[in-house]
């Protein structure tokens, strides 16, 4: 009986191949195959798009090959029309068109969500729901991705988190950090990422914050206040004023001692390395040196205030 069924399957597939070869493929077309559909529903959809001619033949080919159980949704470049077997094979193999998106270092999760949505990869709201539920702020590795259109928000976030685990976690293990936990290093690295405009300054900036932590001084890091104001909108506040320092948030390091409760953005490898291996300094303060992108570092408050005065004089105004 099994041999008979196998022979019929071979004959059936061969007959369909002969039949379909009589119809040359048409013009290329992009078709987004929705997920959560049965093989029959997918066949009806493809016929409606003009990709296949016969729902019956598509279903028959799926049954004979058992590919009907593993059809993958996504954006495909197909032909209008094309053979049922050829269309079935493409959906089984999941050769979907990918979309490229670049996630820069220093983006907070809401910025990442908005960019993913703008790129047509996934909706921002469910992405943020998943990020918040799984505490993934700062744990979405910043790099260039090629995502298949049609992936769920959960799948996209999970993939970015896996990349973080592969790229960032080994650095912490190799450093054999004893004073700070992995989460604390990540929070510190995220602050360094937002503060530094030049890679060469990252270890020095990291040393300032580690020195302040050792001395039990408030970090007074502007990016943490910016994050407190913009974590739900994805905006980094510009032109911050003293009134903005009054926000009641555990991320406000002007108000609360120690590191914030979590990272404020996704740091890159250089920022994490700087947090793990800071420069050996006794600096406790720094201020941006005008619009150069560099900073003036100071050991005492007197030196720091003098540096601020010089910067203000150069700018010709006040904060």
Q: Which residues make up the CATH 3.30.1490.480 domain(s) of the chain?
A: 20-93, 98-167
- Lowest-confidence segment of 15-29, 143-157, 297-311 by average pLDDT: 15-29
| Residue 55, H or E segment | helix 55-65
State the chain's mean pLDDT as an integer: 88
* Distances from the Cα of 98 to the Cα of 75, 168, 319, angstroms: 8, 25, 46
Q: In this model, does residue 261 exceed pLDDT 60?
A: yes
Question: What pLDDT shows up at residue 231?
Answer: 94
- Asked whether the predicted pLDDT for residue 15 surpasses 80, the reply is no
Closest CA to 298 of 233, 211, 238, 171: 211
Average of pLDDT values for 231-240? Answer: 92
CA angle 187, 188, 194 (to 5 degrees): 95
Domain 20-93 is of which CATH architecture? 2-Layer Sandwich (3.30)
Question: Spelled out in words, what is the top-level CATH class assigned to the domain 98-167?
Answer: alpha beta
Banded pLDDT at 36 (limits 50, 70, 90)? confident
Tell me which H or E stretch contains 208.
Answer: helix 202-214
41: left (phi over 0), alpha (psi -120 to 50) or beta: alpha
Taking only the tens place, the pLDDT of each residue in 185-199 is 999 999 999 999 999
- Under 8 Å CB-to-CB from 290, ≥6 apart: which residues? 311, 314, 315
CB 237, CB 224: distance < 8 Å: no
pLDDT in tens, 173-188: 888 877 889 999 999 9
């Amino acid at each position: 009986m099994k041999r008979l069924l196998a022979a019929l399957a071979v004959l059936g597939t061969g007959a369909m191949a002969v039949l379909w070869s009589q119809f040359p493929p048409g013009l290329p077309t992009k078709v987004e195959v929705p997920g959560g559909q049965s093989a029959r529903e997918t066949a009806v959809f493809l016929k409606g798009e003009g990709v296949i001619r016969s729902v019956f033949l598509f279903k028959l080919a799926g049954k004979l090959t058992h590919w009907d159980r593993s059809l993958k949704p996504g954006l495909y470049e197909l032909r209008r029309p094309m053979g049922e077997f050829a269309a079935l094979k493409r959906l089984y193999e999941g050769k979907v068109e990918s979309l490229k998106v670049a996630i820069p270092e220093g983006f907070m999760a809401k910025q990442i969500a908005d960019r993913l949505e703008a790129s047509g990869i996934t909706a921002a709201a469910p992405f943020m729901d998943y990020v918040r539920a799984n505490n993934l702020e700062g744990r979405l590795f910043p790099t260039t991705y090629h995502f298949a259109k049609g992936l769920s928000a959960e799948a996209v976030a999970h993939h970015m988190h896996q990349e973080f685990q592969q790229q960032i976690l080994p650095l912490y293990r190799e450093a054999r950090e004893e004073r700070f936990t992995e989460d604390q290093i990540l929070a510190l690295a995220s602050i360094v990422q937002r503060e530094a405009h030049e890679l060469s300054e990252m270890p020095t900036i990291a040393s300032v914050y580690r020195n302040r932590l050792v001395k039990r001084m408030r970090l007074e890091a502007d990016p943490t206040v910016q994050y407190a104001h913009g974590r739900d909108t994805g905006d980094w506040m510009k032109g911050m004023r003293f009134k903005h320092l009054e926000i009641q948030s555990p991320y406000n390091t002007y108000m609360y001692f120690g590191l914030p409760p979590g990272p404020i953005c996704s740091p890159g490898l250089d920022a994490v390395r700087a947090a793990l291996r800071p420069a050996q300094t006794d600096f406790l303060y720094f201020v941006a040196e005008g619009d150069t992108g560099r900073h003036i570092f100071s050991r005492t408050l007197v030196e720091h205030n003098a540096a601020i005065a010089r910067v203000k004089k150069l700018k010709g105004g006040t904060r």
